[in-house]
Structure 1
Amino acid sequence: MSDSPDRAPAALRIVRTFDAPATAVFDAWTSEEVLRRWWRPERDWETPEAEVDLRIGGPFRVTMRNPHDGAENSGGGEFTDIDRPHRLAFTWTWDDTPGRRQFGR
């Protein structure tokens, strides 16, 4: 994604309903330990790294590892809105995105 002057950054809004208390769902997105248990594209992948600094402007970062070839995919962003347990918003950029800003490093 490019933030060029003639193109606004893209936005993605995800809304889901879970059969769980709002605080538990919010904590699943903001607890490093819990993120490592669920954030991955496939069940057999690992998430060896999850970093959360839960404050406006604080970094958010995860690394996922493919168990078949060891390849890692990492990305992160920063928190832009926090209203526990009702709302959580953050930016996101994959590490291999050209010109990306380094978050949490």
Structure 2
Amino acid sequence: MRIAVETTVAAPVADVWRAYTTPDDIKQWNAASEDWHTTAATVDLRAGGAFSSRMEAKDGSMGFDFVGTYTKVEEPRLLEYAFGDRTAQVAFTPEAAGVKVQVSFDGEDTHSAEQQRGGWQAILDNFKRYVEAKQRS
């Protein structure tokens, strides 16, 4: 089952790409809700390069590592990666209103498609807010 989410970010494509692929930026936006945060992130931005994000509940009750390997990197328009036995693709398409960011990924069997879509969309919405706030500052 393939699941997709998207948003349009009002910023230049270079800024959108940088915020999506820079560890310090990732730690600022990579959470699905206010009670979670990303405490560490690493990025080796090349085909075959690894990435990881440590996501934790702010109350310390739980956490997990989201890790994978980039399989295709075409700056500033496309990222593809594998995580476990699943894959994802992130496309960055410049448009009049900004950059459309489309994420598609293989779903898993533990949570419903709607739950997965909701979580990934919430993270992408945080990304949009973060990048647009940076543009205003």
TM over 0.5: yes
Map 1:39-78; keep pairs closer than 5 Å: 39-78=30-69
Match of residue 19, structure 2, among 10, 23, 28: 28
> CA–CA distance in 2 between the matches of 1:15 and 1:53?
24
Structure with more of its chain in helix, by fraction: 2
Q: Which has the higher contact order (CA 8 A, sep 6+)?
A: 2
Name the % identity: 27
Equivalent in the alignment of 1:96: none
How many residue pairs are counted as aligned between the two chains? Answer: 85
Map 1:4-15; keep pairs closer than 5 Å: 12=3, 14-15=5-6
Contact 2:55–2:66 (CA<8 Å) still a contact in 1? no
TM normalised by structure 2 equals: 0.54
Structure 1 runs of 4+ aligned residues shifted over 6 Å read none
Equivalent in the alignment of 2:80: 89
> CA–CA distance in 2 between the matches of 1:30 and 1:84?
10
Deviation at 1:48, TM superposition (A): 0.8
AA partner of residue 49 (structure 1) = A
Flag structure 2 segments of 5+ consecutive residues without an equivalent: 85-137
